[in-house]
Homo-oligomer: A and B are copies of this chain.
Amino acid sequence: MAGTRRPGEFEAIARWLAPLARHAPESLGLLDDAAVLSPAPGRGLALTVDTMVEGIHFVADDPPGDIARKLLRVNLSDLAAMAAEPRWCLLAMSLGESQDESWLEAFAEGLGADLESFGVALIGGDTTATPGPLTLSLTALGEVGKGGAVLRSTAAAEQDVWVTGTLGDAALALALMQGRAGGLTLGDFPCLQGRYRVPQPRTALGPRLAGIATAMLDISDGLAADLGHICAASRVGADVAFEALPLSDEARRVLDACPELAASVAAGGDDYELLFTAAPGEAARIEALGAETGVPVARIGATRAGEGVVVRDPSGSPMALESSGWRHF
C-alpha cells in the first residue's frame, strides 16, 4: 500500500507544477483542502473531465509538453462546444516510473504555456504514483456565455450545418503513421502531425456563438458520427456535400495521392473542430464572427426533416462510411 516513487519526487512536483497554480487566488496557494472560486453572478458554469492514458491516448515517448497541451485542449474544446469561456482547471496525475524530473519539467512547461495563452487558471489537483501507465485526468470549468449554453439537442430542420477550421487532418496523420497512404510518410506532412498531437480548441469563437448556433458540439468521433449525434438528439436529418468540407493544403495533397482516404476526412476523428447548426439568416453574422476571431468557418450542408446523416460525393451519391469514428474505448 505504498507508492512506487523515489523520495524527493514530491519536491520535484512542487517545484515544477505548484508554480503553475500559485498565481491563481482561487487555488489558495494549493495549501488548503479545496480551491474556492466565485462564479460570475447569473452565469452558468460548464464542467467537463477527460482522461488520457499512456498506450491508449498517447504513446510513452510523445513529448511531455504536447501531452499536457492535448490534455488541456481536448477539455477546452468541450467547453467551447457549450459556448463557455474557459476559466479554471484541476489536474489529477498518476505518475509512473518513467516520469522523472526532466519529464515533469517539460510537462509543466507545455501546460504553463497553454494555460497562459488560453487564460485558464490551474486551481487544484492531486498527484499520486501508479505501478501502471501514466494516467492524466483534467477537469475544466468555463463560464457560459450570456446567451446561455448551446446544447446538441436543439437543432431544427432547414438550418445550415457549419464547421470550423479544416477536417480530417488528425485522421490522415494516423493513416500516414499506420502506412495506409501508399508510399507517403508522416514526416512529409508536419502540419498534419501537429494537428494529431495538439488540437486547436476554438475557444475564441465558441462563446460568441451563444444565441446564434442552434446546436453545437466539438468533433471527436468524426464528422459523420458527431453530426449524427446532433441529428439524433435533435430528431432531424442532415445532408453534407463532401466537396464543401474544408481541407488543409496538406490534407488535399494526401487525398490527391490516395483518393480512397476520403472517408477518413468524413468519418475520421480527433478533429476538435466545432460543428454547429444555425438558421440560414445567420450566415453573414457567423462569417463575420469567424473573421473577427480568426477562426475559419465553412457551411457544409443543411439539416432536414427525417433522420440520419448523408455525406454525398461529387456525383451526388451517398458515400459509404464506417458508422462511427474511432473510439478510444
Interface residues of chain A, those whose CB is within 8 Å of chain B, are: 1-5, 10, 28, 31-39, 41-42, 44-53, 55-57, 59, 77-79, 81-82, 84, 88, 90-94, 123-133, 135, 137, 139, 141-142, 144, 149, 151-153, 174, 217-218, 233, 327-329
Residues from chain B with a CB closer than 8 A to the CB of A49 are 90-92, 124-126, 137, 139
Provide 15 A-B residue pairs closer than 8 Å at the C-beta atoms, listed in order of the A residue: A1-B174, A3-B329, A31-B152, A32-B82, A33-B79, A34-B78, A34-B84, A34-B142, A38-B45, A50-B126, A51-B92, A51-B126, A53-B132, A127-B329, A132-B135
Contact between chains at A36 and B41 (CB < 8 Å): no
Complex: A149 Cα to B28 Cα, angstroms: 11
Complex: A256 Cα to B242 Cα, angstroms: 79
With A127-B329, A132-B130, A135-B132 as known contacts, state yes or no: A45 contacts B36, CB within 8 Å: yes
With A51-B92, A92-B51, A153-B31 as known contacts, state yes or no: A39 contacts B39, CB within 8 Å: yes
Task: Name which of A47, A52, A131 has the most chain B CB atoms within 10 A of its CB.
Answer: A47
Residues from chain B with a CB closer than 8 A to the CB of A130 are 53, 56, 132-133, 135
Complex: A20 Cα to B28 Cα, angstroms: 32
Residues from chain B with a CB closer than 8 A to the CB of A123 are 47
Beyond A36-B82, A49-B139, A131-B133, 7 extra complex contacts between A and B, CB < 8 Å:
A34-B149, A36-B44, A47-B141, A49-B124, A49-B125, A56-B130, A92-B137
With A44-B36, A49-B125, A132-B130 as known contacts, state yes or no: A328 contacts B153, CB within 8 Å: no
Partner of A33, one of B38, B53, B81: B81
Sorted nearest first, the 8 A-B pairs with minimum C-beta distance are A132-B132, A34-B48, A33-B78, A34-B46, A137-B137, A39-B39, A33-B81, A92-B137
Task: Name which of A10, A129, A130 has the most chain B CB atoms within 10 A of its CB.
Answer: A130
Complex: A128 Cα to B134 Cα, angstroms: 13
Nearest CB of chain B from residue A327's CB, rounded to whole Å: 7
Residues from chain B with a CB closer than 8 A to the CB of A46 are 34-36
Residues from chain B with a CB closer than 8 A to the CB of A52 are 128
Contact between chains at A129 and B329 (CB < 8 Å): yes
Residues from chain B with a CB closer than 8 A to the CB of A53 are 94, 128-132, 135
